[in-house]
Structure formats: structure tokens, C-alpha cells
């Protein structure tokens, strides 16, 4: 191998990097891979989801600064680098009919313009592999869907000197693979659910499985299973660092780590585009790249 391996993970908000593919990133960091998280928004419109912090006037007034500090802590725990794209959180509209998105938010940006900001990051970092969300955003949050859109445009645009001139966006670079995070998948949920029942333990997944179609969650093609169980503790520590978003006594942590490691020791991805030959299923995001790097 003659060139350093580099992985870029593109996420919508601070905390997404710790709930989607965090153990994978920590594993690759331990192997000497350069990992960069690109966070599209500051999470300014995110609700305080940890009941222990709800009603804290300081946090409510300074949520942007608080979430930035949480991101700094999670970044240190995971051992990754992290950069912001600088767009404004769109919030999650609720109600029937849904209210309009707020003016100036990320989801209302012109896609090619917003993708240009990511092209700059790609050309500067030069990743061989990029991870992001599928066309549904993993779940239908407008910022997640927008993150998908700009990542797919930037994957091709990073090598397009006409659309994104080198004088403004830096020397062209072609990433080789892009993956969709698919950590919240039905086989994993069923495996953890059954592992708990086999041990006469209560499972938090019974209702999830019964309402899978109601949630609008489609079965996806899981092409890549990355073994990373040894890094689940790091993943959980990084997630807990996002204290405004995560209750350490909440459902994220209902399955003991030893059971998780035994029942489902991998994180899953869907290979969306590849410019190198690879055989599916994979166990490595750099499959087809390592030998030719």
C-alpha cells in the first residue's frame, strides 16, 4: 500500500456521527486510517431530548454552542477529525399539514451550491471512501435527505473542474466508493430482540418490529458488514457525549454490550457507488482499494 487510506463520513447534525457508524470509524482510526467527519449543520434547531437537561435555560439559550462542545468531546473520544459545512439546521417539521421549513435553512439551499461546500472538503481531504445516508435520509428528516443529495452530487462533482473550477474549489479528486449508513436495519433489530428473549430479558424492540412498515422503513440491501464489536464501548461513550440529545438511561443502551457483541458484532452499509471492482458481500469499506492504493 503506497497511499494513506482516508474515510469521510458526511452527517447532518452533531450526534449523527456517534449514532451511525461510530464503531466503524473508531476501528479504522485504530488501524491508522485518516477519518474525517463533515457535519452539515450546527444542530441549532434540535430539541433537548435528554429529560435530565430539559428546562435548563442556559442550554436552551446557547444550544448551538453547547452542541458544538458536545461534538468536540465526541470527536476526541472517537479519535476522528471533524469539520463543519456551516449550514443552518432545518428542524424537524411536525403537524398536519406540515409547516414550511424556516427561511435560510439547510434543506432549502440550492443543491449544487450546497454540494460545492462539500466538494471543497472532498478535494482538500481526498477520501477514497465516503459514507452518508440513503435517499430517504435513513429517516425522513429534511436535513438528512439534503445531506444525501449534496453528497451524491459532490461525489461526482469533486472531479468536475468545469462545474467546480479548481481555482475556487481546489484540485480535482475522485472518491472511489460511497456508502449509505444502514445501521438501523431489520436483521440487526430482530437479532438483538431474539437474543434478549432467549435470555428471558425484556426487549425494547417488540413494538419496533410490529410497526416496522408503519414507520416507513424499507428493507435495504446490506452489502457490507464491518466487524467492529471491540469498539462498541467507544461508540457509546461518544454518543453519551452528546448529552442534550441522549439519555444515558434511555433505550439506546437497553441491550447490554456483551449481548450486542455476541448477537450482532458488525455495523452495516449499502454500497451505493463504486469505481473499483469488489465482491459482495464485503467486510471492509476499503475492499477493492487497499491492494491498489
Binding-site residue ranges for Zn(2+):
13, 16, 144
Task: Read off the C-alpha cell for 84.
Answer: 463543519
Angle of the 232-241 helix axis to the 63-78 helix axis, nearest 10: 160
257 C-beta neighbours (distance < 10 Å), count: 13
Cα angle value 90/125/279 (rounded, 5°): 90
Rounded CA separation 118/69 (Å):
22
| Start-end of H helices in 79-185 | 111-125, 142-157, 166-169
* Residue list for the binding site: 13, 16, 144
DSSP state of 39: E
Please check whether residue 279 is in contact with residue 285, taking contact to mean a CB–CB distance below 8 angstroms.
no
Please list, in sequence order, all residues whose beta carbon lies within 8 angstroms of the beta carbon of residue 194, skipping any fewer than 6 positions away. 263
Exposure string (b/e) for 229-246, b if CB count within 10 Å is 16 or more? bebbebbbbbbbbbbbbb
Q: Which residue has the cell 434540535?
A: 46
Amino acid at each position: 500500500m503506497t497511499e494513506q487510506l482516508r474515510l469521510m463520513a458526511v452527517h447532518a447534525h452533531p450526534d449523527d456521527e456517534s449514532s451511525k457508524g461510530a464503531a466503524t470509524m473508531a476501528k479504522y482510526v485504530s488501524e491508522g486510517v485518516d477519518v474525517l467527519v463533515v457535519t452539515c449543520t450546527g444542530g441549532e434547531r434540535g430539541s433537548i431530548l435528554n429529560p435530565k437537561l430539559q428546562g435548563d435555560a442556559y442550554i436552551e439559550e446557547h444550544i448551538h454552542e453547547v452542541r458544538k462542545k458536545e461534538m468536540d468531546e465526541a470527536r476526541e473520544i472517537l479519535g476522528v477529525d471533524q469539520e463543519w459545512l456551516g449550514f443552518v439546521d432545518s428542524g424537524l417539521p411536525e403537524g398536519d399539514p406540515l409547516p414550511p421549513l424556516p427561511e435560510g435553512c439547510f434543506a432549502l439551499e440550492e443543491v449544487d451550491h450546497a454540494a460545492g461546500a462539500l466538494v471543497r472538503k472532498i478535494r482538500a481531504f481526498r477520501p477514497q471512501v465516503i459514507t452518508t445516508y440513503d435517499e430517504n435520509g435513513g429517516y425522513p428528516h429534511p436535513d438528512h435527505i439534503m445531506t444525501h443529495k449534496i453528497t451524491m452530487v459532490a461525489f461526482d462533482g469533486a472531479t468536475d473542474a468545469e462545474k467546480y473550477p479548481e481555482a475556487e474549489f481546489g484540485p480535482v479528486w475522485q472518491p472511489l466508493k460511497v456508502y449509505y449508513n444502514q445501521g438501523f436495519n431489520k436483521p440487526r433489530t430482530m437479532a438483538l430482540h431474539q437474543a434478549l428473549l432467549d435470555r428471558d430479558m425484556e426487549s425494547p424492540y417488540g413494538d419496533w418490529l410490529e410497526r416496522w412498515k408503519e414507520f416507513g422503513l424499507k428493507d435495504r440491501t446490506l452489502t457490507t458488514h464491518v466487524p467492529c464489536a471491540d469498539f462498541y464501548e467507544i461508540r457509546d461513550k461518544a454518543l453519551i457525549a452528546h448529552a442534550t440529545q441522549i439519555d444515558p438511561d434511555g433505550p439506546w443502551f437497553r441491550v447490554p454490550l456483551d449481548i450486542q457483541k455476541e448477537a450482532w458484532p458488525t455495523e452495516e452499509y449499502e454500497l451505493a457507488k463504486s469505481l473499483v471492482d469488489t465482491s459482495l458481500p464485503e467486510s471492509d469499506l476499503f475492499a477493492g482499494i487497499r491492494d491498489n492504493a
